[in-house]
Amino acid sequence: MASVEVRPGESFDGAFRRFKRKVQTEAIIKEIKKHAVYLKPGERKRLKIAQAQKRMRKRMRREITDL
């Protein structure tokens, strides 16, 4: 779990910013969202395939524009 100690003389906003950054780097929010909804194995597989195809299209688009 992410935790941040407030340094002497540090404002709450600064500590909160550090906390948000730490949470984001540890991918805590992503993990919570992942477990918030149950996906059937078939749905999970279809979603994974769709994301892979999207990444491939994006990569191909980049390669075409780089030429």
Assess contact for 6 and 15: CB atoms under 8 A: yes
> Which of residues 65 and 52 earns the better pLDDT score?
52
Q: 54: helix, coil or strand?
A: helix
1-58, pLDDT tens digit by residue?
788 899 999 999 999 999 999 988 898 888 888 889 999 999 999 999 999 999 999 9
Assess contact for 2 and 26: CB atoms under 8 A: yes
